[in-house]
Structure formats: structure tokens, C-alpha cells
Structure 1
Amino acid sequence: MNSILSTLLSLVSIISHVIIFGTCGYFLSKKSVVEAILMTIGSGIGLLTALFYSVLMPFLLNDRHLAYTEVSQYYTVIGIISFIGSLCFAGGLLILIINTVKKNTVSYNQFPKNND
């Protein structure tokens, strides 16, 4: 019972990753552009690494009784993969912001003029 409760509590941190991945997937389904692809890849990698950190790694530590050197090697590899995913997401977000700002630079002609 205690392990089930601790597993459920560790999955609470994954909720935000699932929401971000779902939002990026929805954006990708509506517009297949580079920024949507990068953000979806980055958020997918972030979701997988969060699952690894919160579900798989505690299971491996308890079940396999791994040594500290082996554990640190796993964390190093997953940290590098997570960094690459974060770079993909940040690059996609940056491209999205640049394209949005470029599109909205001509805002002075969007509003009707007052004829008083």
C-alpha cells in the first residue's frame, strides 16, 4: 500500500509534462511547422525523462540495488538527453515567438480611425 501511494505521488510531477506535450501535439496537428515539431520533440523527451526519473529510476534502485557509480552514469546519460530535449523545446519556442512578433509588427493599421 505504501509503495502504491508513493508511486502515485511521484506521478503528480508528470502532470505538467503531459499537459505541455498534449498542447504541443495539438499545435502540431493544427500547423505542421518547424517550431511545432521542435516543441513536440522537446516536450516528448521531457516527458520521457520525467517518467524515467520518477518511476523507472526508483524501481531500479530498489529492485537492482545498483551501486552509486552505476546510478550516476544513468543520471548523466538521462541528463544529457534531457538537455537536448530542452534545447529542442527552447528553439521551437524561440522560433514561434520570433514569427509571432514579426507577424504583429504592423498593428497601427488594424484599428479604425475615429471620424469625430
Structure 2
Amino acid sequence: MTSILSSLLSLVSIISPCIVFGTCCYFLTKKPVFEAILMAIGSGVGLLVTLFYSVLMPFLLTGKHMEYTDISQYYTLIGIVSFMAGVSFAAGFLILIINTLKKQAAINDQFPKSID
């Protein structure tokens, strides 16, 4: 019973990456632009990294009885992949913000200003 409960509690950390990935995929289906692709790739890889940390690593630590050096190599590799995913998501998000601000400025410049 406690192992089932601890497994469910470890899956709580997956909720927010799933929401972010779902939102990015929804944005990608509605508007397939470069920033949406970057954000979807970054959040998808981030979700995979979270799954790796919360599901696969506990299995490797307890079931395989791996040595510390092997485990640290996995953590290093996944840390680099996670960093690249974060950079991809951040670049897409930055491009989205810049394009949104440019559109907003263009819309505001269309209307004449009052001289009252």
C-alpha cells in the first residue's frame, strides 16, 4: 500500500510539465509558427526528462544497484539535455513575446491620436 502511494506521489511532479506541453501543442495546432515549434520541442523534452527523473531513475537506483559513477553519468547527460530543452523553450517564448509586442505596437500606430 505504501509503495503505491509513494509511486502516486512521485507522479505529482509530472502534472505541470504535462500542462505546459499540452498548452504548447494546442498553440502549435492553432498557429504553426517557429516559436510554437521551439516551445513544443522544449516542453516535450522537458516532460521526458521529468518522466526519466521520476519513473526511470528510482527503478535504476533500486532495481539495478548501479554504482555512483554510472548514476552520475546519467544525471550529467540528462542535465545537458534538460538545459537544451529549457533553452529551446525560452527562445521560443522570447520570440513569441517579441512578435506579440511588435503586433501590438503596429495596431496602436494605425489609429490617429487625438489632439484634445
**1:112 Cα deviation (Å)?**
9.4
Q: 1:105 is matched with which residue?
A: 105
**1:43 Cα deviation (Å)?**
0.1
**1:30 Cα deviation (Å)?**
0.5
List gaps (5 residues or longer) in structure 2.
none
Percent of aligned pairs with the same residue? 64
Q: 1:88 is matched with which residue?
A: 88
Between 1:6-15 and 1:103-112, the stretch displaced more is: 103-112
Deviations 1:11-66 (A, max 9, x none): 10110000000000000000110000000000000000000001110011000011
Change (3 A) 1:111 1:57: farther
List gaps (5 residues or longer) in structure 1.
none
Deviations 1:59-83 (A, max 9, x none): 1100001111111000000000001
Determine helix, strand or coil for the equivalent of 1:104: helix
Q: 2:25 is matched with which residue?
A: 25
TM-score by length of 1: 0.92
Q: 1:2 is matched with which residue?
A: 2
Which structure has greater helix proportion?
Answer: 2
Deviations 1:65-111 (A, max 9, x none): 11111110000000000011001100000000000000001426559
Does 2:78 align with 1:78?
Answer: yes
Determine helix, strand or coil for the equivalent of 1:105: helix
Q: Which amino acid letter does the alignment assign opposite residue 37 of structure 1?
A: I
TM-score by length of 2: 0.92
